[in-house]
Amino acid sequence: MKNLIRIILGIMLLNVFSCEILDKEPESSFSAQGFYQTASDAQAGVYGIYDALQSTLYVNFSFWGEGRADAVATNHSGDPLALTQNNLNTTINSANWATLYQTISRANYAIKYIPTVFDGESEAGLQLTGQARALRALAYFYGVRVWGDLPLITEPYESVEQELFVEKADKEAVLDQIEADLIYAAENCRESFGGDRDRILFTQGSANALLTHVYMWRHKYELAIETANNVLENTTYSLVTINDWSRIFTSGYSNESIFEIGYNETQTNFLRVLYALGSDSHYFPSETFRNSFEEGDLRQDLIYDVTEEQPRKIWKFFGEGFNDESADPSENNIVLLRLADIMLLKAEAHNQLGEIDEALSLINTIRDRAGLPELNQADAESMYGSVEAAILHERSIELSYEGHRWFDLVRTGRAIEVMQPINGLNDEGNLVWPIHEDAINRNPNIEQNQFYR
């Protein structure tokens, strides 16, 4: 699989000059249409979006999805400390959306010009456009969950006649665009590429999985169940056994994986620095998280070092017993979407619709793999207060440190309840990030989010 990533990287490097131009302000001597001439150009343009996504999420998947939640603690300054203490400001790195909009910019060029390369309703053109729209949707979905209202840009910037200083759009308009992009992707992406590419390129399955997340964010539970069923019925995906659970993260490309960001020795991420250096990691397991395990949960030893004193090493992404204190970048893929995640979202949707038996069946499938006894409604209510709370607890353990916990708390309206005793969070306006001062200084039409003014 590393060879495939090298091939993709090679294609991107052959076109690096063109991709760099796409990210800059327009010049009269450049025509994006001139770049998109062949099917290979179109493919390279899409690979360029994946490349930008690698840079966007190599550390932010954790800062945005875990850094403000209850499962992490830190001894580090900068973003890790600011996020855990809820002391956000306009200079922290995670408040900067520049790389996110670079991803969106590359997607906008691809979406506009790929159709000009192919004749008619070509399957190749439709599926490449589908991938580009799915990638744009993923970028905007992070953006809307992190900042709320934000500029909605769907056309490439090619002319001085276009508005350069774009105002923020209402978050619901952004979510509408995300839905439209993912519905298109779910209809037009390929069902399968065959082999490992099904895990690192957008397919119909991964588009439906991401759409399930979007529907759950918007509390559209019936639609979430429909798209989740599309994923669960897809034979590309199946739960691995507990013996192979660690390999989801250490090796990547497992049967349970739906979409992961591919990295290698050239394109690296910060997984090791984020979690696996023990006392020198950005994050280590919080006391709240360590105390939340049920007795006999087979995942606990696979997630962090239970034998050491705090701060304990999170070795979930490198394997039990990992003991390499090097701060070198990581080559591991980052798994963004997997089957257990979608099953638990579906359980949550069923519970919201009063379909308790269906919800418990799904959560118990995940619990059974972890060596835990099944729950009935009375058990769930006795142990966690409600079936919904039991599902959220299961997500907090099963998906720990994968970039979901903060968004789960916000989506379910529990962020203030959970975090106020930990770091004083008490204002819904504080649930979003501040906009970085660079964006404010460059665009006079951008207003800072209300809480941070």
Sign of CA dihedral 401, 438, 82, 149: negative
pLDDT band, very low/low/confident/very high, at 221 (cuts 50, 70, 90): very high
- The answer to whether 405 and 65 have CB atoms below 8 angstroms apart is yes
Across 216-232, average pLDDT: 98
Rounded to 5 degrees, what are φ and ψ at 89? -145, 175
Q: Which residues of 336-374 are buried (b: 16+ CB within 10 A; e: fewer)?
A: bbbbbbbbbbbbbbbbbeeeeeebbebbbebbebbebee
Rounded to 5 degrees, what are φ and ψ at 156? -65, 150
Query: Rounded distance, CA 382 to CA 391, Å?
Result: 13
Q: How many degrees, rounded to 5, is the angle at CA 86 between CA 82 and CA 89? A: 60
- The answer to whether 139 and 100 have CB atoms below 8 angstroms apart is yes
Tens digits of residue pLDDT in 129-157: 999 999 999 999 999 999 999 999 999 99
- Give the tokens for residue 97: 């959306």
CB contact set of 10 (below 8 Å; sequence gap of 6+): none
CB contact set of 334 (below 8 Å; sequence gap of 6+): 57, 58, 61, 260, 261, 263, 269, 271, 403
DSSP per position, 168-179: PBPHHHHHHHHH
Please name the helix (run of DSSP H) or strand (run of DSSP E) that holds residue 225, with its range, or none. Answer: helix 221-232
Report the mean per-residue pLDDT for the chain.
92
Tens digits of residue pLDDT in 405-436: 999 999 999 999 999 999 999 999 999 999 99
Its pTM stands at: 0.93
Residue 253 Cα distances to 229, 237, 256, 350, 421, angstroms: 21, 11, 8, 29, 39
Tens digits of residue pLDDT in 297-339: 999 999 999 987 777 899 999 999 898 777 888 999 999 999 9
Nearest Cα residue to 162 out of 170, 174, 154, 150 = 154
DSSP per position, 101-119: HHHHHHHHHHHHHHHHHS-
CB contact set of 91 (below 8 Å; sequence gap of 6+): 436, 437
Half-sphere exposure of 361 (CA within 13 A, CB side): 7
Half-sphere exposure of 79 (CA within 13 A, CB side): 22
Nearest Cα residue to 335 out of 248, 272, 394 = 248
- The answer to whether 306 and 314 have CB atoms below 8 angstroms apart is no
User: Does 17 have pLDDT greater than 50?
Assistant: no
Nearest Cα residue to 304 out of 96, 71, 128 = 71
Across 99-109, average pLDDT: 97
Tens digits of residue pLDDT in 366-385: 999 999 999 999 999 999 99
CB contact set of 76 (below 8 Å; sequence gap of 6+): 281, 282
